Amino acid sequence: MLGKGVVGGGGGTKAPKPSFVSYVRPEEIHTNEKEVTEKEVTLHLLPGEQLLCEASTVLKYVQEDSCQHGVYGRLVCTDFKIAFLGDDESALDNDETQFKNKVIGENDITLHCVDQIYGVFDEKKKTLFGQLKKYPEKLIIHCKDLRVFHFCLRYTKEEEVKRIVSGIIHHTQAPKLLKRLFLFSYATATQNNTAADPKNHTVMFDTLKDWCWELERTKGNMKYKAVSVNEGYKVCERLPAYFVVPTPLAEEDVQRFQGHGIPIWCWSCHNGSALLKMSALPKEQDDGILQIQKSFLDGIYKTIHRPPYEIVKTEDLSGNFLSLQEIQTAYSKFKQLFLIDNSTEFWDTDIKWFSLLESSSWLDIIRRCLKKAIEITECMEAQNMNILLLEENASDLCCLISSLVQVMMDPHCRTRIGFQSLVQKEWVMGGHCFLDRCNHLRQSDKEEVPVFQLFLDCVWQLVHQHPPAFEFTETYLTVLSDSLYIPIFSTFFFNSPHQKDTNVHQRQLSLPLTQSKSSPKRGFFREETDHLIKNLLGKRISKLINSSDELQDNFREFYDSWHSKPTDYHGLLLPHIEGPEIRVWAQRYLRWIPEAQILGGGTVATMSKLLEMMEEVQSLQEKIDERHHSQEDPQAEPPCLLRNSARLSSLFPFALLQRHSSKPILPTSGWKALGDEEDLAKREDEFVDLGDV
Amino acid sequence: MASSSTSKYNSHSLENESIKRTSRDGVTRDLSEAIPRLPGETLITDKEVIYICPFNGPIKGRVYITNYRLYLRSLEMDSALILDVPLGVISRIEKMGGATSRGENSYGLDITCKDMRNLRFALKQEGHSRRDMFEILTRYAFPLAHSLPLFAFLNEEKFNVDGWTVYNPVEEYRRQGLPNHHWRITFINKCYELCDTYPALLVVPYRASDDDLRRVATFRSRNRIPVLSWIHPENKTVIVRCSQPLVGMSGKRNKDDEKYLDIIRETNRQISKLTIYDARPSVNAVANKATGGGYESDDVYHNAELFFLDIHNIHVMRESLKKVKDIVYPNVEESHWLSSLESTHWLEHIKLVLTGAIQVADKVSSGKSSVLVHCSDGWDRTAQLTSLAMLMLDSFYRSIEGFEILVQKEWISFGHKFSSRIGHGDKNHTDADRSPIFLQFIDCVWQMSKQFPTAFEFNERFLIIILDHLYSCRFGTFLFNCESARERQQVTERTVSLWSLINSNKEKFKNPFYTKEINRVLYPVASMRHLELWVNYYIRWNPRIKQQQPNPVEQRYMELLALRDEYIKRLEELQLANSTKLSEPPTSPSSPSQMMPHVQTHF
């Protein structure tokens, strides 16, 4: 597919000039004509954003009260987004403008947010990619934030159909160069206001000072030191410029294998035990080199085993724990459950909902991650052990598990700033390959694995189970998950700090960036490396790893005893991981499905009550303060008008009110066979002999 | 770890003030003094046993059996476990192990309870202690088989509120604006002669005479004729309930019944059809013809439209709940939780019941058509549908007293066979008449309250206490099958009502988020995406699954409420102080704002 994807019609290089040709409306369109002529909905472009192609008289399907109706408008594609400009936008504008995404409108889809595109040809749905021979009458776009758009092109001019369809396919599906990311055009256009907001205290971990601060905060500075050996990425491009290692570790050791095989500090617990991570040494066939590697690792282990260091337990994350392949497969099944085309599909899948959920394994993977994090927490908290996480690159499951452990053990990570700093420390500086894992450049579907999404989902479980322990709500997490696909923020658009630094600085030079495609194709399966690690460390590991029974007992006891005590929201926080406790993150996954909307209900109903009460208490507080200061009578002022507590939908703040009437939504599917209960079903409620009537 | 289990077990116990006084130290000499006792409750026996706790292993304890409850206190110093189980909850008592049983704790009793748990006690093989305990338990758990009265008739509790006065049918119908031009109140059933399972007071169409009613009764199963349950305050459409028509194999007709339904239809002039919801699956309705029942076919009832709601019968529901117990007790199915849950079909049944009720409510509210609801006898599925639809349509029923009235009216007075469905004091645990129909209704209410957390005045504890006393036999509320039986037994004179307990302690059962909204119709989303297993009820005995009580958001809200009240009080005090000070020159202003605890909350 690579290279062949450039379509003549709407290729990125020869984008058609913006043309605002007014269109002829077909007879069958019944809209208020006065409105049509007067209102030309304008396209809002961001600084640096360019219109690439467009089509008019496109019909967008809107579902309302289990029947679909259409809205006419223009479908445009820019170098940032696909946008639909509906003719009745005004109605929406008046509606709920109180909460609105400032960057992405209701009908905007950033190019990176597009997941799959389908075309409908004679009622048949087909995946669209590459060059098309025939153009569809309907376009269905599945988004990575799980929105589904239906656009009917039947009334659009053939030429425009060709242009918009091939344009959209090209700009969203074809492989891209890093330098083509909208990020860069946006940054150029808004250069002067890229400076960091002084109020923002998120620690970026891009200076030695930041790491020292973190060491001090966690009291890890006795045994660990921040090093600048990788300044300018001299040693390794996968590591950040500054990081933290055990104090006695020599800097030459870091350089020896380009930072591989080095225990890198993540976090220190109040009792002195620490969480460390290590990437594997390069695979070697040669016995001599293997021998060298072995003695090197032995040396490293000796260093970190010597007092004052705690006993180290190695946790091999590339072993039997969880593979990236599993995560990928599970999520692709799981997301399909929410990408629903219509009401019929919703109710058809409703009957089998629980088994469909289970067969995706997504919730089970969440459970396994949480369980692993609890096990590690137990070792650190109860057994005073150091934990060394091992993974080939130490940049996928290492990021996930280490940040989960910190969210559970360190209340600072449950504040907004603390959480952002954690993401910055473990994920961005930890070299998680966001570019590849999100497949932002569409270069390899195989590398696309929602590891960060999995992390957010695990954190959501904790937020859902213990809301008072977090400064942020689930909505914060949902918005954060959306920002993965908005190429305005650079946070989630690079594979490593090195890649970011080189590109942001050298961008002006327009260097060919093809080589920056991070790593050569590498599978997820790392059985070989896995063995390697085990072989090299075999003895020590076997000494340290408890027998699995004992491990289970420790885990059970720790878990049960924590849950039997009242929760201290400012202390250690553990999730419940039993079957009924791991749930679907409804806000993120169900928010665009009108059938799943509870009008005037859901958790938002209690949340808004809570907010109202807070406002009331605050205003009372102010009044009391005021009274103390000036002795005038505050009764004169009108009673504080609280937020209009209009009924919000359970989908708030994401979906606008999609149902305006109070009609209930009724399941359309029937009853599933009862199987072995068929006999019972046929029985009478009571044996009644009505024969004599 | 075991020592921490006290609070958990205590918190699950049925509401009882005396529990709070229970001493935890266990050194009290007079042990019988320390066990909670209701007025009228007498201690029968006590024994040393080993309680085999499915979660924490065997615990040595002393069990006290009274004529009301089984009470166990652990004798181990490090575990302060307490079990407090009303004998009414017991469904079955089995002996386990024989005289030759060798294994540790293999000889004793296994008690199956109606509230999703089993209790196992190990006893010594020598000295007949098991036989004694078995006999005493059997005697007092199943008093009907031993010609003993149910405990409700011995209970001498006094409350400052009389729960029996909560429901007065005349008042309730008056609240609905009845009687009116189209509907009248009739006393034809005063002595339960027309229908022995209906209440004495009925609301029927004005144009139907008492003779008409008698003739219609001959054509409805068990004489349960169509009568009004609820009338829409604005459009005057009605929900009418009844039993199936006696059509039979030959397809019998009854002119009076046809005319009667037409009269009902005509009370509402907005639509030309009467909508009939038959709660059963259509195959069952057809099959019912073989035993003389059936449904209203449209070639006979021209002005009616019939829909089947596909809700299964009491046997299916009973088996479904059994499967739920299998996956949650004692251990929660872990690795395949979701598919196991699905295979119980429990939530699927809930979905169908809710879907049916939504249809009824919507037809009345926006379809502007009167609705007639029946199943076979009109006392199980019909009660579920009418009461849930009423709960959706009428916000009054979402208050604590309103809900009590709803239960009292649609379930108790209209003859849901509580006695047969629950088996109060009856030892026949395999009785095919038993079925968790009322529990299923309460579960539906819980699902609604979960989806609309601000719409109900009551909280989850309210629903759970109702279910606890559905089995306990401490109150007369749910005893017997119908009003006529209750009257014969003088239940209101001789027993206490559950509503007395609840209404004299209302604060405990209130939902702090409740926002009264008159005229708000509430349609829950009957999708599996939103339905969930009621963990706090079905899995409440498992200390691992236990949810935080009260939930943290609720707790935070209560704190804010308290803070608000405090501030309002302070503001009033300040105003008062100010008005007295007005004449005087202002004193040196200190900075009292520093004294205020400033609002700090994460939400």
Ranked by mean pLDDT, the top range of A242-256, A524-538, A638-652 is A242-256
Q: Which of B541, B564, B585 is at the close of a domain?
A: B541
- Whether residue B376 is found in the same domain as residue B513: yes
Helix (H) or strand (E) holding B302: none
Instruction: Say whether residue A554 is in contact with chain B using an 8 A CB cutoff.
Output: no
The residues, any chain, with a CB within 8 Å of residue A44's CB and separated by 6 or more, are: A105
Count of helix runs (H) and strand runs (E) in chain A: 22, 14
Residues in chain B: 603
Please write the tens of the pLDDT for every residue from A328-348.
999 999 999 999 988 888 999
| Chain A nearest C-alpha distance from B260 (Å) | 19
Q: Is B293 on the interface with A (CB under 8 A)?
A: yes
Give residue A256's pLDDT band: very low, low, confident or very high (50, 70, 90). Answer: confident
Instruction: Give the residue, A184 or A94, on which the prediction is more confident.
Output: A184
Using CA of residue B131, residue B136, residue B139, residue B141, what is the dihedral sign? negative
pLDDT computed for residue A573 by the predictor: 96
Report the percentage of chain A scoring pLDDT > 70: 76
Q: For residue B292, is it within any domain?
A: yes
Q: Give Cα separations from B516 to A625, B176, B453, B512, B519 (angstroms).
A: 32, 18, 12, 11, 10
Give A406 to chain B, closest Cα distance, Å: 20
Q: Per the domain annotation, does B287 fall within a domain?
A: yes
In a domain, B48, yes or no: yes
- For residue A678, pLDDT beyond 70: no
Three-state SS for B418? helix
Query: Helix A353-360 and helix A343-350: axis angle, to 10°?
Result: 80
**DSSP 8-class letter at A196:** P
- The C-alpha R_g of chain B, in whole angstroms, comes to 27
Handedness of CA A198, A201, A202, A208 (dihedral sign): positive
- For A247-291, list the strands marked E by DSSP: 264-268, 274-279
| Of the candidates B199, B279, B209, the residue with the CA atom closest to the CA atom of residue B243 | B279
Of A646, A648, A651, give the one whose Cα is nearest residue A595. A651
Categorize the per-residue pLDDT at A572 as very low, low, confident or very high, splitting at 50, 70 and 90: very high
Could you tell me the two tokens for A26?
A: 């077909």
Q: Give the start-end residues of each E strand in A173-282.
A: 224-227, 243-246, 264-268, 274-279
The alpha helices in B582-594, defined as continuous H runs, are none
Whether B15 is in a domain gets the answer no
**DSSP tag of B160:** S
Number of H helices, E strands in chain B: 21, 14
How far is Cα B206 from Cα B562, in angstroms, rounded to an integer?
52
pLDDT digits (tens, 9 = 90+) for A29-70: 344 333 444 445 688 899 889 999 999 999 998 876 556 788
State whether B489 and B565 are in the same domain: no
| Partner B contacted by A540 (CB < 8 A) | no
User: Which of B343, B544, B559, B573 has the highest number of chain A CBs within 10 A, making it the mutation to test binding with A?
Assistant: B544
Nearest to A596 among B377, B521, B529 (CB): B529
d(CA B307, CA A537): 71
Q: Is B63 helix (H, G, I), strand (E, B) or coil?
A: strand
The pLDDT value given to residue B597 = 43
Q: Where in chain A is the domain with CATH 2.30.29.30?
A: 51-174
Distances (CA, A) of B430 to A693, B312, B422, B427: 30, 19, 11, 9
Token look-up 């650190």 returns: A380
In this complex, is the C-beta atom of B317 within 8 Å of any C-beta atom belonging to chain A?
no
Report the pLDDT value the prediction gives residue A77, as an integer from 0 to 100: 96
The dihedrals phi and psi of B61, each to the nearest 5 degrees, come to -160, 175
Query: For A170-180, what is each residue's pLDDT tens digit?
Result: 999 999 998 88
- Measured distance CA(A289)–CA(A273) in Å, rounded: 33
| Cα–Cα distance for residue pair B181/A401, rounded to 1 Å | 71
* C-alpha to C-alpha distance for B595 and B591, rounded to whole angstroms: 8
Q: Which of A617, A619, A637 has the highest number of chain B CBs within 10 A, making it the mutation to test binding with B?
A: A617
Instruction: Please check whether residue B513 touches A, CB under 8 A.
Output: yes
Taking the C-alpha atoms of residue B508 and residue B513, their distance in angstroms, rounded to an integer, is: 14
CATH architecture of the region A51-174: Roll (2.30)
Which range among A71-85, A497-511, B402-416 shows the weakest confidence by mean pLDDT? A497-511
Across the interface, of A586, A590, A680, the residue whose CB is closest to B315 is A680
B310 shares its domain with B455: yes
Greater pLDDT, A133 or B387 = B387
- Comparing CB atoms, the residue among A351, A358, A681 nearest residue B312 is A681
Residue B54 lies in a domain: yes
* Residues of B with catalytic roles: 375
Alpha carbon separation from A685 to B4, B243, B424 (Å, rounded): 46, 12, 19
Query: Which chain A residues are closer than 8 Å to B564 by Cβ?
Result: 613, 616-617, 620
Minimal CA separation from B527 to chain A, in Å = 6
Q: What are phi and psi of B430, to 5 degrees?
A: -95, 5
Rounded distance between C-alpha atoms, residue A63 and residue A184, angstroms: 37
Q: What is the pLDDT of residues A185-243, one digit of tens each?
A: 888 887 654 444 434 578 999 999 999 999 999 999 989 999 999 999 999 999 999 99
Pick the closest to residue B241 from B418, B79, B395, B377 (CA basis). B377
- Please count the structural domains in chain B: 3
Residue in this structure with the two tokens 């472009």, named with its chain if needed: A45
Residues A124, A539: Cα–Cα separation, whole Å: 60
* A653 has pLDDT over 80: no
Q: Does A21 touch chain B (CB under 8 A)?
A: no
Band (A647; pLDDT cuts 50, 70, 90): low
Residues at the binding site of B for substrate are 313-314, 375-381
CATH number, residue B67: 2.30.29.30
CB distance B506 to A647 below 8 Å: no
Q: Which domain holds residue B410?
A: 169-541
Asked if omega into A575 is within 30° of 0 (cis), the reply is no
How far is B226 from B229, CA to CA, in rounded Å?
Answer: 9
Q: Residue A532: helix, strand or coil by DSSP?
A: helix
**Does B114 map to a domain?**
yes
Q: In this structure, is residue B24 part of a structural domain?
A: no
Is B491 in the same domain as B553? Answer: no
pLDDT tens by residue, A611-638: 889 899 999 988 888 877 765 554 544 4
Q: What is the pLDDT of residue A495?
A: 95
ipTM, 2 decimals? 0.88
Q: What is the mean pLDDT of residues A139-147?
A: 95
State whether B536 and B549 are in the same domain. Answer: no
Predicted confidence (pLDDT) at residue A511 exceeds the cutoff of 50: no
What was the pLDDT predicted at A528? 35
**Average pLDDT along chain A:** 80
pLDDT value at residue A654: 75
Q: Among B375, B527, B553, whose Cβ lies nearest the Cβ of A350? A: B527
Nearest CA in chain A to B218: A693
Distances (CA, A) of A603 to A598, A607, B232, B552, B600: 10, 6, 30, 13, 21
Percent of chain A with pLDDT over 90: 49
- Our CA-based measurement puts residue B244 at a distance from the nearest CA of chain A, in whole angstroms, of 11
Minimum Cα–Cα distance from B549: chain A residue? A566
* Cα gap A451→A301, rounded to integer Å: 29
> Does residue A209 contact residue A229 with C-beta atoms inside 8 Å?
no
The answer to whether B458 and B510 have CB atoms below 8 angstroms apart is yes
CB contacts under 8 A, A 579-618 vs B, are 579-581, 584, 586, 590, 595-603, 605-607, 609-611, 613-614, 616-618
C-alpha distances (whole Å) from B57 to each of B3, B52, B60 are 13, 6, 10
Q: Is residue B27 part of a domain?
A: no
Look up residue B194 and give its two tokens. Answer: 């027309």
Among A569, A601, A628, select the one facing B451 at the smallest CB separation: A601
Ranges under pLDDT 70 in chain B: 1-33, 546-550, 581-603
Cα separation, B471 vs B462, whole angstroms: 15
Q: Pseudo-torsion of CA A80, A86, A91, A93, nearest 10°?
A: 10
Q: Please say whether the dihedral angle defined by the alpha carbons of residues B206, B210, B214 and B217, taken in this order, is positive or negative.
A: positive
For residue A566, the number of C-alpha atoms closer than 13 Å in the C-beta half-sphere is: 6
The residue from B148, B181, B205 where one domain ends is B148
